[in-house]
Amino acid sequence: MPERDVQITACADGPLLVRGAVQVVGEDGQTIDNPRRTVALCRCGSSAIKPWCDGTHKLIRGVSDPASSTSR
């Protein structure tokens, strides 16, 4: 993958996996430190370490299923 490319994978009932050199910024405009090139962003809203996924989504159901996005 070239240096500037970013790939985002929507995991069924889980986080958004972001691969690549990205900068994550909070709603206050401050950069959130992240030393990793692959991060998992919570989209279920239940993580205790937002914006990162902490695996709590595994305890709940129905975050989303990218394959069924046309069913709504």
Q: Which residues bind ligand FES (CB under 6 A)?
A: 14-15, 42-44, 46-47, 53-57
To ligand FES, the closest distance from the beta carbon of 20 in angstroms equals 19
**For the chain, what is the largest distance between any 2 Cα atoms, rounded to a whole number of angstroms?**
37
To ligand FES, the closest distance from the beta carbon of 72 in angstroms equals 19
Please, which residue, 5 or 69, has the CB nearer to ligand FES?
69
- DSSP assigned state of 58: G
What is the helix (H) or strand (E) element at residue 8, kind and residue range?
A: strand 7-10
To ligand FES, the closest distance from the beta carbon of 60 in angstroms equals 8
CA distance 4 to 60: 34
CA distance 8 to 11: 9
Please, which residue, 12 or 25, has the CB nearer to ligand FES?
12
